[in-house]
Chain A
Amino acid sequence: MTASVRLNQLNHWFGPFHALRDISLEIEAGEYVTLLGPSGCGKTTLLSVLGGFIEPSQGTVFIADADMTSVAPAKRPTTTMFQDYALFPHMSLRDNVAFGLRMTGVGKAERHRKADDKLDLVGLKADGAKRPHELSGGQRQRVALARALAVEPDVLLLDEPLGALDLKLRRAMQDELKDIQRQVGTTFVHVTHDQEEAMAISDRIVVMNAGRIEDAGPPSRIYREPASLFAADFMGEMNHIPAQVGSAGAQTALTNLPAANLMSGAATVCIRPEAVRQDGKGIGLGDATVRDATFFGAYTRAHVIPTTAPDMVVVAHLPPTSLPETGAVLQLSVLPDDIRIFTKDTA
């Protein structure tokens, strides 16, 4: 079971606080979408609006082309997987998973069979008789997933589902979530503040900030060609180089960069640390002195100081085979495709 979602010009206020600002978003049936942003950016509010726990002050929510804006959570084709899992402590895992089916009047034998199927899907087939307190955090999370999927929702909403797990388990559960989503085909909307998690799991990422959508698109596009300075920074480490856009392009202390179709005025040039090269390809960034360099296994992380701008520190991820000594002078360059320039109005 799966359905598309369409959000139309959503606005929401908590008292004087403008929590959602002009949110419009279309999610295709069967898509895995992540709402990514710092705490307080409105991502959880948006999820609550989708789940029916909050009715938006303005705008409409369509699920499978039906207007769901003021429909109660129980009557929506959505289920929510809560951050603290919210399992029923007094019920066995089987009864937890079967709860939604019990509410729709499915007979005991039938709902237990379906619950066992869902427990099997999350790898807990043998534990149906256990109680939630006997499980580890990762297992509880799986039960919560099985319970939410048991009612065969069109859209599953996940509120920071991996937030309570340790890093290693979190990475393992990401793959599992993605895998299960592919098997069931349900539309997943997942809230997180972890950009690595978002990149690992999503078909599409929606970056949010201060109640607005900053950018929305496939992970690689958002990482490589972010639509805003905020999205650029949130997706990973970024070198900021101040620039002045004029008729000659974007002038920086290092070099002049081509800047077609940009408003003239102050701007910020963004280059990812791994895009800084020392093989001379692309546009030259001039000489730079190595302040320090550390070996990280997959790459060498270096802080370098450009000769033409001694106040600036550029972070470069160089190939792991080169570990330059402090004081060494490198010839830096960057490919034109790896440069993003944000003028004040796009930032």
Chain B
Amino acid sequence: MRMAAWLYLILAFGFIYLPVGTLVLFSFQDGTLPVPPFNGPSLQWYTEVLADDDITAALINSLVVAIGSSAVAVVLGFLAAYGLARHVLPGSAIMRGLLIAPLTVSYLIVGLGLLIVLNRTGIGLSLFTAGIGHVVINLPLAFAIIYASMGAQHENAERAARDLGASEAKVVLLVTAPMLAPTLAAAFFLSVTLSWDEFIIAFLLTRFDITLPVEIWSMLRSGLSPRLNAIGSVVFLISVTAVLILEFTVLRRRRS
């Protein structure tokens, strides 16, 4: 029975991590094909990737879009949550629903819709428009996370701040936002990871400057190469770093 449990555990984790492990392993392939047999470790593909200006440019573009769009999504999500949690507004249930509804719309539809609108208005496609697309998909998530943690215990601290002479802006900046710092950081990092490897919207809404997933896709069209494995490993490393930062700073502190 105990054996079966261990076997199940190994199979389950194998199922989840074997593809990633294979990808990372063959990024060190000494040869031109990322398939068995493994010919021994080599860093040649990493050297090549980091020397490739297109790839490093795409990587930086991705980071800029991820961080920029996430920051905007968190700020807008926070303001919406504050307004709806702290004030009695007409139709607030409908507004909450409309804010969260985009979560159910597929990225393809969001991307196509934005593409049509942008074409009509004559705004050229760029990293900026891809960023707009990412704000559209991340805002509902940021709003939902922040709204859920705006409890009544915070409300009394806000009342106390007002009672002590704080203006509404000071209440938000000095009391509400700092008290919600762990939640704001969680929403931000989650948005960053989602934006970081988002493909469809970035593909539809960029033209000359492209993000990393789009770059990888265009490279894939010329066939498999350990170069792609090396890029994938770098992307994976960055995602893992973001998750670890979240785990060790935000979630750890909240539990204590």
* Cα of A79 to Cα of B159 in the assembled complex, Å: 11
A52, A53, A80, A88: the one contacting B157 at CB < 8 Å is A88
Beta-carbon contact of B165 and A84 below 8 Å = no
Q: What residue in chain B is nearest A52 (Cβ atoms)? A: B163
Nearest-neighbour CB distance to chain B for A151, whole angstroms, equals 6
Knowing A103-B165, A103-B166, A103-B170 are in contact, say whether A80-B179 is a contact too (CB < 8 A). Answer: no
- Chain B interface helix/strand/loop/mixed: helix
What residues of chain B lie closer than 8 Å to A74, measured between beta carbons?
Answer: 162-167
Complex Cα distance, B253 from A89, in Å, reads: 13
Residue on B nearest A91 in the bound complex, by CB: B178
Interface size on B, residues (CB 8 A): 18
Contact check: which of A89, A91, A103 meets B164 at CB < 8 Å? A103
> Do A88 and B161 touch across chains, with their CB atoms under 8 A apart?
yes
Cβ–Cβ < 8 Å partners of B178 in chain A: 88, 90-91
Cβ of A51 within 8 Å of any chain B Cβ, yes or no, is: yes
Which of these, B156, B167, B181, contacts A84 with CB under 8 Å?
B156
CB distance from B60 to the nearest CB of A (A): 34
Q: Flag whether A277 is at the interface (Cβ < 8 A).
A: no
A-B contact count (CB 8 A): 59
A79 touches B163 (CB 8 A): yes
Is A295 an interface residue, CB under 8 A from the partner?
A: no
Q: Which residues of B contact A104 (CB under 8 A)?
A: 165
A86 touches B181 (CB 8 A): no
Check if B246 is an interface residue, CB within 8 A of chain A. no
Residues of A within 8 A of B175 (CB): 88
State which of A51, A73, A86, A151 has its C-beta within 8 Å of the C-beta of B156.
Answer: A86
Per the bound structure, the CA–CA distance linking A88 and B179 in Å amounts to 8
| Contact B164–A151 (Cβ < 8 Å) | yes
Task: Compute how far the CA of A79 lies from the CA of B161 in the bound complex, rounded to whole angstroms.
Answer: 10
Q: Is the CB of A151 within 8 A of B179?
A: no
Residues of A close to B170: CB separation below 8 A: 103
Q: Give every chain A residue within 8 A of B167 (Cβ-Cβ).
A: 74, 103
Chain B 167-186 near chain A by CB (<8 Å), digits 1 or 0: 10010001100110100000
Asked if B153 is at the interface of the complex by the 8 Å CB criterion, the answer is yes
Residues of B near A90 (CB, < 8 A) are: 178-179, 181
Beta-carbon nearest neighbor of B157 in chain A: A86
Chain A's closest residue to B158 (CB) is A86
B157 adjacent to A100 (CB under 8 Å) = no
Q: List 9 contacting pairs A-B, 8 Å CB cutoff, sorted by A.
A: A53-B159, A74-B166, A80-B159, A82-B156, A88-B157, A88-B160, A88-B179, A103-B165, A103-B167
Interface residues of B (CB under 8 A from A): 153, 156-157, 159-167, 170, 174-175, 178-179, 181
A-side interface residues toward B, CB under 8 Å? 51-53, 72-74, 78-80, 82, 84, 86-91, 99-100, 103-104, 147, 151
